Amino acid sequence: MIDFRSDTVTTPDEAMREAAATAVVGDDVYGEDPTVNELEARVADRLGTEAALYFPTGTMANQTAARVHTERGQEVIADRESHVIKYELGGLAQHSGLQVRTLDADRGVPSPETVAAAIVDEDLHRPGTGLCCLENTHNARGGLAIEPGAIDAAATAARERDVPVHLDGARLFNAATALDVSVTELTAPVDSVMVSLSKGLGAPVGSMLAGSDEFVERARRTRKLFGGGMRQAGIVAGPALEALENVADLERDHENARLLAAGLDDVDGFDVREPETNIVIADVSGTGEAPSTVVDRLGERDVLASPFGPTTVRFCTHRDVSRGDIERALERIGDEFA
């Protein structure tokens, strides 16, 4: 079986398993787990922020950021295809009582003019805009790596109007790798950032939320409210520390994605553009079949992928898929749709 459903399907390698077995642990709710503390310090340093906080999931981290930055009833502006809008079960409304003003943004990041026009001032009748959310890479738009200038321009437009900016950077290390920039160039313009350790980096569990000392202390309290306070969490933080050393491997995933995309584009009925990172989106409308049917047929050939829209299927490359796996998958897919 060759699994392209997501980069979350990776299994921990031997170094991660050893790190879990030998981790020095304590009660993290009391701030006494040395392995978690090391992870948080190392991630804050890597991201260029004052502090960072370990979370079980990226969704919880995003929702915590929204809760900390805003007051109930305020508006959040975000691209209509962003993860916080499409894939977090309406958490902005459910957890924090927020309204959403969606934007149709080019490449998933709004222009400064669009940001400025979307911001609503607080007055007697309106609660005002409380947060601008950006995303990098942009999952639903095909793993796009958003350039530092675009992030900076959108963030500056919001912050000039006293609206804080949160960056959903679940695959931020993929973006930095693809753009050949330091990750701090992508985080510098924003007030908070979430990065996932369990996607391309391959950790079994966890995401990080980073920002100022004050922000992270408030986030710690909200994490507890959301049920995210963990005890001897060094057991999973240890493998996460190992995963931080895997950033250099992301370029291989991007190369494999380009190889996969080129091969899929040659399959009858598939139309695929060149990917920017590790996400490959195939328009399968040329097959005359629904994406779910195409995915079922792929599954019969021991190739797993995900329906991703009315006409599209998503494939993710990751550290558990080799170049040889790509070549074998393409042979099977080509045979199935010959």
Predicted local confidence at residue 106, as pLDDT: 84
Predicted local confidence at residue 34, as pLDDT: 98
Amino acid at site 336: E
pLDDT tens-digit series, residues 1-12: 999 999 999 999
Residue 105 has pLDDT above 90, yes or no: no
Predicted local confidence at residue 109, as pLDDT: 96
Residue 74 has pLDDT above 90, yes or no: yes
* Distance from C-alpha of 53 to C-alpha of 21, rounded to nearest angstrom: 22
- Average pLDDT over every residue of 124-152: 97
Residue 251 has pLDDT above 90, yes or no: yes
- Average pLDDT over every residue of 80-95: 97
User: Where do the domains of the chain lie?
Assistant: 2-6+249-337, 14-245
- Average pLDDT over every residue of 124-143: 97
The answer to whether domain 2-6+249-337 has CATH 3.90.1150.10 is: yes
Q: Are 273 and 142 in contact (CB under 8 A)?
A: yes
Q: Are 128 and 106 in contact (CB under 8 A)?
A: no
* Distance from C-alpha of 338 to C-alpha of 336, rounded to nearest angstrom: 6
pLDDT bucket at 233, cuts 50 / 70 / 90: very high
Phi-psi region of 297 (alpha: psi -120 to 50; beta: other; left: phi over 0): alpha
* Distance from C-alpha of 45 to C-alpha of 48, rounded to nearest angstrom: 5
Residue 239 has pLDDT above 90, yes or no: yes
CATH C-level class of 14-245: alpha beta
Q: In what order do the strands lie in the sheet with 312-316?
A: 271-272, 279-283, 312-316, 306-307
Helices (H), the chain: 14-22, 34-47, 58-69, 83-86, 91-96, 112-118, 148-159, 172-179, 183-187, 213-225, 234-243, 250-265, 291-300, 323-336
Residue 45 has pLDDT above 90, yes or no: yes
- One fold for 2-6+249-337 and 14-245: no
Name the average pLDDT for the chain. Answer: 97
pLDDT above 90 as % of the chain: 99
Give the tokens for residue 109.
Answer: 């990041």
Q: Which residues contact 53 (CB under 8 A, 6 or more apart)?
A: 40, 61, 208, 209, 210, 216, 219, 220, 223
Q: Which residues contact 49 (CB under 8 A, 6 or more apart)?
A: 187, 193, 210, 211, 212
Closest to 161 in 3D by CA, of 214, 194, 108, 117: 117
Give the tokens for residue 78.
Answer: 């975000």
The secondary element (H helix, E strand) that includes residue 53 is strand 51-55
pLDDT bucket at 322, cuts 50 / 70 / 90: very high
Sign of the C-alpha dihedral computed for residues 301, 302, 308 and 314 taken in this order: negative
Residue 21 has pLDDT above 90, yes or no: yes
